[in-house]
Amino acid sequence: MLNHLEKIIFNALNDFLVFGGYTKIYLKRNPSWLNIFVDLELVLRNDCIFTNSEIQIISYRCASSRPRFTLFICILGEVHNLLLAHCYCTYRELFYRNCELADSQWKVQRAVNDVCYVLNTTFWNLGVFASSKGLMAGSLLIYMSNGDVINYKAPSFVPTNFTYIDRFETTASYILLVEKDTVFEKMLSTRIFSLIHENIILVTGRGYPDIASRWILQRLHREHRLAIYMLTDADPCGIEIMLTYRHGSLTQAANGLQLTCPYLKWLGIHPSDLKHLRIPTEPLVLNDCRKIEFLLRRKYVNTGVRQELKILKYCCRKAKLDNMSINKFQMFMCDYIINKIKRQIVI
Residues 6 or more apart in contact with residue 225 via CB below 8 angstroms: none
- If you write DSSP's letter for every residue of 174-189 in order, what string do you get? EEEEES-HHHHHHHHH
Q: To which H or E segment does residue 202 belong?
A: strand 200-204
Spatial contact of 248 and 43, defined as CB atoms under 8 Å apart: yes
Domains in the chain, start-ordered, CATH in brackets?
Answer: 1-129 (1.10.10.10), 135-343 (3.40.1360.10)
Spatial contact of 289 and 245, defined as CB atoms under 8 Å apart: no
Integer Cα distance of 256 and 309 in angstroms: 24
Residues 6 or more apart in contact with residue 199 via CB below 8 angstroms: 138, 139, 170, 171, 172, 173, 193
Spatial contact of 174 and 200, defined as CB atoms under 8 Å apart: yes
Spatial contact of 178 and 207, defined as CB atoms under 8 Å apart: no
Spatial contact of 312 and 284, defined as CB atoms under 8 Å apart: yes
Integer Cα distance of 123 and 140 in angstroms: 26
Identify whether 174 is a catalytic site residue.
Answer: no
Is the whole model's pTM more than 0.85, yes or no?
yes
How many C-beta atoms surround the C-beta of residue 260 within 10 A?
28
Of 244, 82, 88, the closest CA to residue 165 belongs to 88
Active-site entry in 22, 26, 60, 96 = 96
Strands 282-283 and 317-318: antiparallel
DSSP label at residue 333 = I
Q: To which H or E segment does residue 95 belong?
A: helix 91-97
Q: To which H or E segment does residue 247 belong?
A: helix 236-247
Per-residue pLDDT of the chain (347 residues; tens, 9 = 90+): 777 788 777 877 777 777 766 677 777 766 666 566 666 555 666 655 445 556 778 777 788 888 888 888 889 889 989 888 888 999 999 999 888 888 889 899 989 988 888 888 888 999 999 888 999 999 999 999 999 999 999 999 999 999 999 999 999 999 999 999 999 998 898 888 888 878 999 999 998 999 999 999 999 999 999 999 999 999 999 999 999 999 888 877 777 788 999 899 999 899 999 888 888 889 999 999 999 999 998 888 899 999 999 999 998 999 998 888 777 888 888 888 888 998 998 99
Q: For 156, what's the count of Cα atoms within 13 Å in the CB-facing half-sphere?
A: 14
H runs (alpha helix) in 265-302: 286-296
Integer Cα distance of 335 and 289 in angstroms: 30
Residues 6 or more apart in contact with residue 237 via CB below 8 angstroms: 288, 291
Buried b (16+ CB within 10 A) or exposed e, 71-85: bbbbbbebbbebbee
Integer Cα distance of 193 and 73 in angstroms: 51
How many C-beta atoms surround the C-beta of residue 267 within 10 A?
23
The end-to-end CA distance of the chain, in Å, is: 41
